């Protein structure tokens, strides 16, 4: 079964169970202070999980491209990838544990023919947050019994989940359900107002032998890789308060996410996601170009395949290599892939060919890849050239430092200086740690790995604090000022289209309580006159005190009305269309949007453009405030 076939089968299965397929979001998180990238299908659904009615109803399904930067260092273990497709199912206050777990196992066993003897499940063991999930245990026992297994509850893990229960477990028998504490409480974040609840994870047994370096005894969450999590069912009932997780949401939700690549691996009886057709064409290309076997250079092959796939999607969705925010991650991925191309003896320029292969394989499901092909390849090419310069300059800098280091008499001083220089080469010169390690090893020196990790952690914490300050009050908080900025963004986009032309389209946005930012397609720098005209047009609509209202309608109706939006949705999908103005005042804009918005434009204040700049070829950015 190909991953495309499995994706389609999943969507169709849940549509038969009365779910509606919903549009997937782009990878760059917008208007949320907690995320740089969309890392799951639930990210765009937070308001609906909290109780707001979704236009499509209470049963939803989709496949969401997702990116997790925290998994970058995990690539090379045959089971992790930074860019993955998340198969998602939601019940928003409709059915709960019983129906969901039965649907899930019906799909896994009856639809895609997974062997039930290779499936295991974890449940919440209970904590100060909530009691042990006895309901799920009984439901799972009945499900396993239906498929010929008298499931029993195995040993509990009440300590650190990655350590397990500390006892031998006889896998292959009836012990199928394993309670964990910290591993089975899902939360979106730690801030007051975040959502959470107990979860139940589904694991597939690859039957690989246990590697004792990861602990004496194997268990479901063991890092040896024998068991691979293929799905997580979150039973989202709670909302965080100042006193903890004591408050329940107005509705009980199910939020399921399953990794398409991992489920495809299991469906094909494999033990490695890079052996599935989601990646195997890239691995084959690398073997041909390098003349080397994948098995001998697995880490490099997997890093190149994963990172190339990830940057292809990230650039298509608006991520441009840079030294800030999302762009920093895109740059790091490209450069890391280039380092490993060099390690296996493949020319940097083949990164573009690899990206072409990704576009060819994935564009049926994601047409924006083909649409943005030249832009994607241009950015990868430019970054390759920039990295070549960085290597040259960074190497010169390092050679200079080795001369200085040779004059040190105290080892402590020498090691401290080297540690600082290593981090400087990484942070300021953009050299991946693998490249720096090669330079250092050639001179018989040694990187202080723990020191580097600590320096990196401090830097990330400072960056995170900066980001929290920069993005505080994002749309996710729905504060009054943030809502005003959201409405002003609609006014700005329509004003840009009226002044600059209909070739202007939104390419991203970020809204906080202090300012707004809009990225839009336009090939050249705006003149002072154009900026003034746009500013005046927005303020004119604010002074008119235009009403702002929304209607729910299906997608085809929205198109007929001329509503702006991203039309990747399916025919018949219901959407919200916000209209600024009415028949009496004149309609200024219509846009598909989830909301919320100010009741009228008069509440916004005075609109002022603070900056207009380029962020990539053909994409401009405006930063503006309401005074």
Q: What is the pLDDT of residue 471?
A: 38
Q: What is the mean pLDDT of residues 395-409?
A: 74
- Residue 354 inside a domain? The answer is yes
- Note whether 445 and 577 are same-domain residues: no
pLDDT at position 473 over 50:
no
- Note whether 406 and 535 are same-domain residues: no
Comparing 220-229, 449-458, 563-572, the range with the smallest average pLDDT is: 563-572
Kindly indicate the confidence band of residue 509, based on its pLDDT and cuts at 50, 70 and 90.
confident
Task: Give the integer Cα–Cα distance in Å for 575 and 558.
Answer: 8
pLDDT at position 173 over 50:
yes
Residue pair 465/472 in contact by the 8 Å Cβ criterion: no
Q: What is the pLDDT of residue 462?
A: 64
What is the residue range of 77's domain? Answer: 3-114+183-275
pLDDT at position 442 over 70:
yes
Q: Residue 32 gets which letter from DSSP?
A: -
- Note whether 432 and 502 are same-domain residues: no
Pairing of strands 195-205, 185-187: antiparallel
The burial of 570, by beta-carbon neighbours within 10 Å (0-12 exposed, 13-18 middle, 19 or more buried), is given as middle
Residue pair 570/556 in contact by the 8 Å Cβ criterion: no
Kindly indicate the confidence band of residue 87, based on its pLDDT and cuts at 50, 70 and 90.
very high
- Residue 123 inside a domain? The answer is no
The H or E element containing residue 95 is none
User: Higher-confidence residue: 45 or 471?
Assistant: 45
Length of the chain: 627
- Note whether 457 and 481 are same-domain residues: no
Q: What is the pLDDT of residue 566?
A: 52
Q: What is the pLDDT of residue 391?
A: 84
What's the Cα-to-Cα distance from 160 to each of 131, 171, 217, 266, rounded to whole Å? 18, 21, 14, 27
Q: What is the pLDDT of residue 398?
A: 77
- Residue 413 inside a domain? The answer is yes
- Note whether 351 and 443 are same-domain residues: yes
- Residue 86 inside a domain? The answer is yes
- What are the backbone angles phi and psi of residue 605, rounded to the nearest 5°? 95, -165
* Last residue in a domain, options 232, 257, 275: 275
pLDDT at position 274 over 60:
yes
Task: Give the integer Cα–Cα distance in Å for 27 and 567.
Answer: 16
| Sign of the alpha-carbon dihedral angle for 394, 396, 400, 402 | positive
- Note whether 295 and 371 are same-domain residues: yes
- Residue 564 inside a domain? The answer is yes
- Residue 426 inside a domain? The answer is yes
Q: What is the mean pLDDT of residues 139-143?
A: 98
CATH of the domain at 228: 3.30.930.10
Q: Which two tokens stand for residue 157?
A: 């893990």
Q: What is the mean pLDDT of residues 207-220?
A: 93
- Note whether 412 and 327 are same-domain residues: yes
Q: What is the pLDDT of residue 282?
A: 97
Say which residues have a Cβ less than 8 Å from residue 119's Cβ, sequence separation at least 6.
105, 108, 109, 176, 202, 203, 204, 205
The total number of structural domains that make up the chain: 3
Q: Which residues pair with 253 in a beta bridge?
A: 92, 236
Instruction: Quickly list DSSP for 183-234.
Output: GGEEES-SSTT-EEEEEEEEEEE--PPP-GGG-SS--TT-TTSSEEEEEEEE
Q: By C-alpha distance, which of 548, 600, 539 is closest to 577? A: 548
* Last residue in a domain, options 434, 456, 471: 471
* Last residue in a domain, options 471, 488, 517: 471
- Note whether 535 and 584 are same-domain residues: yes
Task: Give residue-wise pLDDT tens across range 533-584.
Answer: 999 999 999 999 999 988 888 777 887 777 876 544 444 567 788 999 988 8
- Note whether 526 and 435 are same-domain residues: no
- Note whether 91 and 209 are same-domain residues: yes
Predicted TM-score (pTM) of the model is: 0.78
Q: What is the mean pLDDT of residues 116-144?
A: 96
CATH of the domain at 491: 3.30.980.10
pLDDT at position 478 over 70:
no
Residue pair 558/575 in contact by the 8 Å Cβ criterion: yes
- Residue 461 inside a domain? The answer is yes
Q: Which of 127-131, 293-297, 401-405 has the highest mean pLDDT?
A: 293-297
Q: What is the mean pLDDT of residues 304-314?
A: 96
Task: Give the integer Cα–Cα distance in Å for 559 and 566.
Answer: 10
- Note whether 290 and 388 are same-domain residues: yes
Task: Give the integer Cα–Cα distance in Å for 562 and 559.
Answer: 5
Task: Give residue-wise pLDDT tens across range 13-62.
Answer: 999 999 999 888 888 876 555 678 888 888 778 888 988 888 889 999 99
Say which residues have a Cβ less than 8 Å from residue 214's Cβ, sequence separation at least 6.
222, 223, 224
- Note whether 450 and 346 are same-domain residues: yes
Q: What is the mean pLDDT of residues 490-498?
A: 94
Q: Report the percent of the chain where pLDDT is more than 90.
A: 58
pLDDT at position 124 over 80:
yes
User: Higher-confidence residue: 137 or 241?
Assistant: 137
Q: What is the pLDDT of residue 228?
A: 95
């Amino acid at each position: 079964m190909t991953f495309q076939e499995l994706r389609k089968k999943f969507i169709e299965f849940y549509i038969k169970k009365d779910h509606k397929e919903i549009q997937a979001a782009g990878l760059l998180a917008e208007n949320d202070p907690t995320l740089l990238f969309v890392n799951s299908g639930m990210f765009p659904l937070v308001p609906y999980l909290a109780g707001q009615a979704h236009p499509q109803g209470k049963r939803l399904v989709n496949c969401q491209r997702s990116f997790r930067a925290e998994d970058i260092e995990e690539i090379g273990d045959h089971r992790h990838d930074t860019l993955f497709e998340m198969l998602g199912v939601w019940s928003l206050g409709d059915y709960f544990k019983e129906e969901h777990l039965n649907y899930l196992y019906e799909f896994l066993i009856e639809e895609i023919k997974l062997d039930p003897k290779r499936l295991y499940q974890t449940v919440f063991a209970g904590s100060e947050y909530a009691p042990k999930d006895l309901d799920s245990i009984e439901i799972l026992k009945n499900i396993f019994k239906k498929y010929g297994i008298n499931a029993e509850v195995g040993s509990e893990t009440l300590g650190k989940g990655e350590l397990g229960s500390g006892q031998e477990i006889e896998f292959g028998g009836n012990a199928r359900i394993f309670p964990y504490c910290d591993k089975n409480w899902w939360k979106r974040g730690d801030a007051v107002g975040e959502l959470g609840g107990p979860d139940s994870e589904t694991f597939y047994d690859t039957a690989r032998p246990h590697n004792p370096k990861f602990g004496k005894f194997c268990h479901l969450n063991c890092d040896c890789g024998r068991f691979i999590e293929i799905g997580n069912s979150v039973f989202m009932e709670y909302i965080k308060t100042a006193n903890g997780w004591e408050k329940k949401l107005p509705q009980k939700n199910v939020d399921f996410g399953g990794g398409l690549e991992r489920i495809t691996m299991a469906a094909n009886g494999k033990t490695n996601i890079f052996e599935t057709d989601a990646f195997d064409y890239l691995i084959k290309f690398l073997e041909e170009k390098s003349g080397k076997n994948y098995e001998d250079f697995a880490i490099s092959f997997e890093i190149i395949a994963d990172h190339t796939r990830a940057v292809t999607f990230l650039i298509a969705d608006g991520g441009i290599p840079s030294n800030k925010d999302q762009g920093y991650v895109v740059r790091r991925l490209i450069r890391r892939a280039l380092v490993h191309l060099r390690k296996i003896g493949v020319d940097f320029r083949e990164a573009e060919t690899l990206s072409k292969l990704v576009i060819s394989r994935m564009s049926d499901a994601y047409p924006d890849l083909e649409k943005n092909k030249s832009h994607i390849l241009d950015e990868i090419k430019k970054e390759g050239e920039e990295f070549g310069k960085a290597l040259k300059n960074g190497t010169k800098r390092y050679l200079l430092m080795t001369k200085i280091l040779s004059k040190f008499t105290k080892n402590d001083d020498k090691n401290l200086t080297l540690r600082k220089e290593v981090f400087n080469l990484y942070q300021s010169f953009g050299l991946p740690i693998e490249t720096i390690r090669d330079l250092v090893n050639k001179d018989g020196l040694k990187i202080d790995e723990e020191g580097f990790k600590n320096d990196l952690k401090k830097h990330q914490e400072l960056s995170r604090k900066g980001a929290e300050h920069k993005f505080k009050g994002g749309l996710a908080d729905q504060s009054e000022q943030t809502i005003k900025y959201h409405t002003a963004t609609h006014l700005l986009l329509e004003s840009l289209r009226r002044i600059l032309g209909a070739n202007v389209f939104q390419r991203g946005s970020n809204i906080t309580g202090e300012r707004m930012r809009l990225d839009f397609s336009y090939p050249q720098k705006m003149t002072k006159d154009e900026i003034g005209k746009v500013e005046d047009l927005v303020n004119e609509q604010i002074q008119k005190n235009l009403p702002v209202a929304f209607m729910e309608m299906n997608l085809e109706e929205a198109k007929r009305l001329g509503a702006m939006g991203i039309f990747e949705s399916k025919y018949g999908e219901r959407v919200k269309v916000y209209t600024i103005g009415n028949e009496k005042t004149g309609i200024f804009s219509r846009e598909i949007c989830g909301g919320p918005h100010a009741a009228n434009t008069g509440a916004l204040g005075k609109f002022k453009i603070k900056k207009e700049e380029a962020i990539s070829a053909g994409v401009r950015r405006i930063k503006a405030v309401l005074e």
